[in-house]
Amino acid sequence: MSELYVFRIGEAYDDLSPVFTIDGRDYADPAAAAADVKTAAETLERLQLIAEYESSRVASDAPRSALPSWAQWRARHIEGGEPIGVRPRPRTLTFPPGWDELGAWLEHSHRWLREQVAGAAGAVPGGRVSLLADPGPERVSRGSVVPAEEQYRVDCSFLVVPPENGTGAEALDAIHGWLRAAGWHVAAPIVEPASTVVGAVRDGHEIAAVWRHAGRSVTLLGKSPTVDAGFFGGTA
Write the pLDDT tens digit of every residue in 96-151.
999 999 999 999 999 999 999 999 999 999 999 999 999 999 999 999 999 999 99
Does residue 227 have a pLDDT over 70?
A: yes
pLDDT of residue 93: 87
Contact at 8 Å (CB) between 234 and 102? no
pLDDT of residue 236: 47
Write down all domains in the chain, each with its CATH number in brackets. Answer: 2-79 (no CATH), 99-233 (3.30.2030.20)
Helices (H), the chain: 30-46, 70-73, 99-121, 168-181, 229-233
